[in-house]
Chain A
């Protein structure tokens, strides 16, 4: 297990006041909060900060931590001193603080708890658990399944509690949308005294797709066309989540124009639509023939692309 320098994590001196610690935590939390931050390692950094703050904000825990001395460096191999724990009594986490986050082994070895099961329960049954799952847009369209490893505390014959791994397969129905919740009844924390177990909530996130942009149940595809397809109209094959379909481009279509394929978005009631946004690509004038065609267009078409901008 590695030593964690909580002061360094929050960027404060060992002599920092409670206010300075709070300010440092708030400042860093704003930067690395996973709901707000764009930093790639935001979630890990934020958890680390929460853990550091959980210790340094609490005078009892901070005093205990300080007793380890200032010689330790982050990442150094660490074991609690043999007499650790004598003379302290930790009052546990205040209800409503980071009960659902896992803290490090380092934290657990010093202060106990740390597991997601350590927090206070606020009702007679077990607590609800939350997890986040990422799926692809194709999986959202067709439905999918995921294997989840759930850890449950289990009382052994000798009375000690051990975390037991439990693998479940969850079927995710077609038509799930970004941010939607899935409830797995009774798969949260087991109840301590005969009450009902908590539920497991999965929050679904759909990964950005390389071709389709998703908005609610609608998807938009940027679709390249030749100038003559846009000008004269054409029948083209367009990819959709359910497979390729034939689509008619009306004559005199413009670049950027959106055509709708009704009901070709994510399934649901009603299902979403697919929008096809035309992107007109110009053939390069890289041969005498191509140049001649462009020359002819210039000579014969009475076309001023900036007509509407002229004042």
Chain B
């Protein structure tokens, strides 16, 4: 096996990056109806650049990928996955706060 070392330019997808809904479908393995339903449920924001040309902020991608995995792997529907992803995020936030509070009240 030949090893090649190459330095790659990383592109950080941030708040100002928008991704076409069709690309989101591919990246998250969701169908377009599911993406539009998720937008309607408020899971992520969206905009319509031109008629029928939907875009979603890149920052929503990790969340939408979790939605896609939950739908595929657990057989939940769109609203079930949306609820689950929001609860998971809330749980994670609470865990961070809990860890912090434990530090505050615990032994030094």
A168 touches B104 (CB 8 A): no
Q: How large is the interface on B (under 10, 10 to 19, 20 to 34, 35 or more residues)?
A: 35 or more
In the bound complex, CA of A50 to CA of B59 (Å): 28
A180 touches B100 (CB 8 A): no
Q: Is the CB of B9 closer than 8 A to any CB of chain A?
A: yes
Q: Is the CB of B11 closer than 8 A to any CB of chain A?
A: yes
Interface residues of B in 25-66 (CB under 8 A from A): 26-27, 29, 58-59, 61-63, 65-66
A170-B8, A184-B11 are contacts. A214–B104 as well, Cβ < 8 Å?
no
Chain A residues near B58 (CB-CB < 8 A): 181
> Do most interface residues of chain B lie in helix, strand or loop, or is the interface mixed?
helix
A26-B75, A181-B58, A182-B10 are contacts. A224–B96 as well, Cβ < 8 Å?
no
A128-B26, A213-B99, A222-B100 are contacts. A30–B74 as well, Cβ < 8 Å?
yes
Query: When A and B form their complex, what is the total count of cross-chain residue pairs whose Cβ atoms lie within 8 Å?
Result: 109
A184 touches B104 (CB 8 A): no
* Selected interface stretch from A7-15, A159-167, A245-253, A285-293: A159-167
Q: Is the CB of A306 closer than 8 A to any CB of chain B?
A: no
A203-B62, A213-B99 are contacts. A184–B10 as well, Cβ < 8 Å?
yes
Interface residues of B in 70-87 (CB under 8 A from A): 70, 72-75, 84
Chain A residues near B61 (CB-CB < 8 A): 181, 201
Count contacts on A: residues with CB < 8 A to the other chain.
49
Chain B residues near A167 (CB-CB < 8 A): 3-6
Q: Is the CB of A122 closer than 8 A to any CB of chain B?
A: yes
Chain A residues near B97 (CB-CB < 8 A): 213
Chain A residues near B72 (CB-CB < 8 A): 96-97
Cβ-closest chain A residue relative to B1: A165
A36-B88, A165-B1 are contacts. A183–B11 as well, Cβ < 8 Å?
yes
In the bound complex, CA of A176 to CA of B62 (Å): 14
Q: Is the CB of B13 closer than 8 A to any CB of chain A?
A: yes
Q: How far is the CB of B56 from chain A (nearest CB, A)?
A: 12
Q: Is the CB of A172 closer than 8 A to any CB of chain B?
A: yes
In the bound complex, CA of A121 to CA of B32 (Å): 17
In the bound complex, CA of A130 to CA of B1 (Å): 23
In the bound complex, CA of A181 to CA of B62 (Å): 7
Give a binary string over A212-248; 1 marks a CB under 8 Å from any B CB, 0 the rest.
0111000010101000000000000000000000000
In the bound complex, CA of A187 to CA of B63 (Å): 23
A168 touches B5 (CB 8 A): yes
Q: How far is the CB of B13 from chain A (nearest CB, A)?
A: 5
Chain A residues near B2 (CB-CB < 8 A): 164
B9 touches A171 (CB 8 A): yes
Q: Is the CB of A104 closer than 8 A to any CB of chain B?
A: no
A185 touches B11 (CB 8 A): yes
Q: Is the CB of A281 closer than 8 A to any CB of chain B?
A: yes
Q: Is the CB of A123 closer than 8 A to any CB of chain B?
A: yes
Q: How far is the CB of B65 from chain A (nearest CB, A)?
A: 8
